[in-house]
Amino acid sequence: MLSLEDVRVSYGGVQAVRGVSLAMREGQVVGLVGANGAGKTSVLNAITGLVPRRGRVSFRGEDLEGLKTADIVRRGMVQVAQGRQLFPEMTVLENLELGAFLLPPADVPELREKMFVRFPILKDRAAQQAGTLSGGEQQMLAMARALMGRPRALLVDEPCLGLSPKMVGVLGDFIRQVNAEGISVMVVEQNTAFVFGLAHHAYVIENGQVALDGHPDELRRDDRVRSAYLGI
């Protein structure tokens, strides 16, 4: 469904991504783990066209070269940015409905109701400013907003950041549910245990490169992964 070949990203003289190749098959959850500054966000931003890149990215058989981010969203790929990036002074409902900006307005009420069934808290708080929600609720709203665009692939950047362990569990269940509905999910996280509990395949990113990849069960047996990323 999604493949990267020799993707490179530079910021001025800093090479943040140095020839990353990876793949996500239809229906998979794929994890990208790594330390602070390893280049994970830059990989996601390179996929969705938010930063200039070299190398090849293809999505559902199509080369994304030259496409703008909005065109990529139209093709069914939606990114949930690190830090949620909600509009804090707009209401929960307004933020939610923004996610459907490419869909016919007639489709919005049904999608909105679906999100309210999935996240009753968003219905209760529909008229409240998004900035007043808790971190966990904001993450849920950011995910719900992304789903309003009916994506085929969801790219989620550091969803666990700042969440309580209980909320991390809720988030994990939610990602499993979304995936069970047929949406492929790429998750970028420093919380390696979280990703290993969800992913069908994971990539360890170090210094802008793929250092290791495999099924989480396989990676859990690797001594380097155990000590550097799982703390065991």
Q: Where along the sequence are the contacts to ligand ATP (CB under 6 A)?
A: 11, 14, 16, 34, 36-42, 190
Q: How far is the CB of 17 from ligand ATP (least distance, A)?
A: 7
Output the CA–CA distances (angstroms, integers) from residue 137 to 6, 57, 86, 96, 99, in the order listed. 37, 32, 11, 12, 16
Q: How far is the CB of 184 from ligand ATP (least distance, A)?
A: 20
Q: How far is the CB of 207 from ligand ATP (least distance, A)?
A: 9
Q: How far is the CB of 129 from ligand ATP (least distance, A)?
A: 26
For β-strands 201-206 and 184-189, DSSP reports them as unpaired
If the CB atoms of residues 21 and 128 are measured against ligand ATP, the closer one turns out to be 21
The answer to whether 39 touches 53, Cβ cutoff 8 Å, is no
If the CB atoms of residues 37 and 120 are measured against ligand ATP, the closer one turns out to be 37
Q: How far is the CB of 6 from ligand ATP (least distance, A)?
A: 17
What is the C-alpha separation between 228 and 203, in angstroms, rounded?
14
What is the C-alpha separation between 59 and 52, in angstroms, rounded?
17
If the CB atoms of residues 11 and 101 are measured against ligand ATP, the closer one turns out to be 11
**Strand-by-strand arrangement of the 54-59 sheet:** 14-24, 2-11, 54-59, 62-63
If the CB atoms of residues 121 and 211 are measured against ligand ATP, the closer one turns out to be 211
If the CB atoms of residues 91 and 209 are measured against ligand ATP, the closer one turns out to be 209
Closest alpha carbon to 155 in 78, 216, 230: 78
